[in-house]
Structure 1
Amino acid sequence: MGIDRAVTEFFADHRSAHLTDLMWSVTWLGNASTLHWAMIGLAATTLVLGRPFQAAAVVVGMVGASDISGSIKDLVGRDRPGSEFRAGDALSSYAFPSGHTMGMTVLVGLVLMVAWRSLRTDRARRTAVGLGAVVVLAVGLSRIYLGYHWLTDVLAGLCFGLLWIATVVASARGVKLQWAAAAERGWSEVPATVPVRQYLS
C-alpha cells in the first residue's frame, strides 16, 4: 500500500542516533521474552490476590495472542520492509500483523483487568487507560521507525489485540459467574446447557 511505504520512508529518512536508541528500548517492551516474563509476573500477582480466574485469563490471553499472531503471519505471508528501511538485522518471520503491538495490547488490557478493582475513581481509570494506550502506541511506532513493520501491520496488531483481549476478559467473567452461580445453588442444580443469566436473574 502507498501509505505503508510513505510512512516507512518518512521514518527511515528522519532517524537520529539518540532517537534510534530510544526506539530500541521501547520495542524491547514488546519482545517475546519481555512479554513472557510479564505474563508470569502478572499471573503470579493475581494468584497471590486470590483471583484464579484472572490468572487463567492472563495465561490464556498472552499465550493465545502469540499463537494467533504467528498463525496469521504464516497465513498472510506478508514480507517485512526491505533492508534499506531496517535499523537492525533481518527477521525470518512475516510482517502481518505486528506481534509486538498485539502482545502489548493484550498485556495492557490484562493489567487493566487486574488493576480495575483498585482504580476506584473515573479519573484514575481514565489515566490508567491513557497510559496504557501510550505504551501500546509507542511500541507500535517503534516497530515502524526501526523498519520491521509497515503501518498496516501495526494497525492490524492493535485491532487483533483488542478483539482478543475483549474475548478473553468476557470469557473469564462468564466462567467466573457460572462457577459462582453453581457454588451458590449446588453443583448438581446447574445444568451446563442452561445460561447462567437464568440463575442470576
Structure 2
Amino acid sequence: PSGHALLSTVFYLTLGVMLTRAFPRKRLKAYVLGCAVLIALLIGLTRIYLGAHWASDVFAGWSVGAAWAMTLWLAAYAVERRQRLHHAPLQDAPSTNV
C-alpha cells in the first residue's frame, strides 16, 4: 500500500476526530471532519496523478489508514467512557445521615 496515503489518512482522520471533540456545534464538527477527509483524499489522489503509486496501492493505504484511525478513535472513546463511569457520582448510594 501507499505509505503516503496510509499515513496521511491516519494523521488527518485522527486529528479531525480529536478536533471534533473540542467543538460543541455539529456543523463545525462536520466541517472539520470533512476537511480531514478531503486532505487525506487529495494526498492519495496526488500519488496516483504523479504516477508514484497504482490506484490499488492508494486504495489499500486509505483502507488500512482508515481502519487504524477508527481503532484509535474507538480506543479513545472506550477510555473516555470508562473515565466517565469511574468518576460518576454515586446516585443510588444509601444516605448515611441519621
Q: TM-score, normalised by structure 1?
A: 0.40
C-alpha change, 1:150 and 1:126, in structure 2 (3 Å) is same
> What corresponds to 2:47 in structure 1?
143
> What corresponds to 1:7 in structure 2?
none
Cα-to-partner distance string for 1:110-131 (whole Å, 9 max, x where unaligned)? 2122211333222222222222
> What corresponds to 1:109 in structure 2?
13
* Cα distance between partner residues in 1 of 2:38 and 2:83: 36
Q: CA RMSD in A?
A: 2.0
Output aligned runs, 1:86-97, within 5 Å.
97=1
C-alpha change, 1:184 and 1:101, in structure 2 (3 Å) is same
**When the two structures are aligned, how many residues end up with a matched partner?**
89
Q: Report the CA distance between 1:154 and its aligned residue.
A: 0.6
Q: Report the CA distance between 1:158 and its aligned residue.
A: 0.8
Output aligned runs, 1:1-80, within 5 Å.
none
C-alpha change, 1:120 and 1:153, in structure 2 (3 Å) is same
> What corresponds to 1:166 in structure 2?
70
Q: Report the CA distance between 1:134 and its aligned residue.
A: 1.8
Q: Give unpaired runs (5+ residues) of structure 1.
A: 1-96, 186-201
Percent identity between matched residues is 31
* Cα distance between partner residues in 2 of 1:183 and 1:130: 33
> What corresponds to 2:60 in structure 1?
156
Q: Report the CA distance between 1:182 and its aligned residue.
A: 3.8
* Cα distance between partner residues in 1 of 2:64 and 2:80: 24
Q: Is the 2:17–2:33 contact (alpha carbons within 8 Å) kept by the matching residues of 1?
A: no
Matched to 2:19, the amino acid is A
**Is residue 2:27 matched to residue 1:130?**
no
Greater relative contact order (Cα < 8 A, sep 6+) = 2
> What corresponds to 1:60 in structure 2?
none
Instruction: Find runs of 4+ consecutive structure 1 residues off by over 4 angstroms.
Output: none
Matched to 2:18, the amino acid is V
* Cα distance between partner residues in 2 of 1:174 and 1:134: 27
> What corresponds to 2:25 in structure 1?
121
